[in-house]
A and B are shown apart, each in its own frame.
Chain A
Amino acid sequence: NAGVTQTPKFRVLKTGQSMTLLCAQDMNHEYMYWYRQDPGMGLRLIHYSVGEGTTAKGEVPDGYNVSRLKKQNFLLGLESAAPSQTSVYFCATARTSGGELFFGEGSRLTVL
């Protein structure tokens, strides 16, 4: 069981480039989340999904888009990367909305 897998683990982008982060889970969880973590700040919710085919905005959604076409995958897209999007991105899943979160290993993104 892989649990929650994020790809890629590291990426360097130039301002204006686009990219997609993939989160894949084999836990059959309904809830999936994308967070970003910056120094001195707690994890902040970007977007989340409560089931296949659904997505919703979190606390800091601007500059990001998401899709959940299959239950096991949650994609996070950056259409035009900006230096302010340099961060560590974590995907998480949960069986219930108030339950334990299971995180992927994180994706470190640097935008130059």
Chain B
Amino acid sequence: RKEVEQDPGPFNVPEGATVAFNCTYSNSASQSFFWYRQDCRKEPKLLMSVYSSGNEDGRFTAQLNRASQYISLLIRDSKLSDSATYLCVVNKNSSASKIIFGSGTRLSIRP
């Protein structure tokens, strides 16, 4: 079993729709969680950190469920520019060597 698992997609949704995807992690001692965005043939960039209380940044909401060991990302009122691959990142113990990347969920927004 992979340490961090994501549905690879692609998720193909119309502009304006709400879309959500999850990421599961296997190590219950994991301490910090992030969502990164990666555009085609570009480098990953931090979208948002995921806190225990959840957090929201405009149209984006991230949640953490420690009991079930998953994090989620919700995108409301999706835009064409949201088309990208979303990477789930888990840091197992705040160690430099314990940052684990999911393989990503591909999202495509259609007009």
Residues of chain A whose beta carbon lies under 8 Å from any beta carbon of chain B? 31, 33, 35, 40-45, 48, 50, 56, 58, 90, 94, 97-98, 100-101, 103-106
Contacts and interface: CB of A to CB of B under 8 A. Distances in A.
Contacts of A58: 97
B8 to A, nearest CB: 7
B98 to A, nearest CB: 9
Interface centre among B8, B42, B97, by most A CB within 10 Å?
B97
Contacts of A94: 96
Interface in B61-110: 87, 89, 91, 94-97, 99-104
B43 A104 contact: yes
Contacts of B31: 98
Nearest to B34: A100
Nearest to A48: B96
Interface of B: 4, 8, 31-32, 34, 36, 41-46, 49, 87, 89, 91, 94-97, 99-104
A97 B43 contact: no
Given A42-B101, A42-B103, A45-B99, A103 B94 contact: no
A68 to B, nearest CB: 13
Contact of A98 (B46, B91, B100, B104): B91
A44 B103 CA distance: 10
Given A43-B44, A48-B96, A104-B43, 18 more contacts: A31-B96, A40-B8, A42-B87, A43-B101, A56-B96, A90-B44, A94-B96, A97-B94, A97-B95, A98-B91, A98-B94, A98-B95, A101-B36, A101-B46, A103-B43, A103-B45, A106-B41, A106-B42
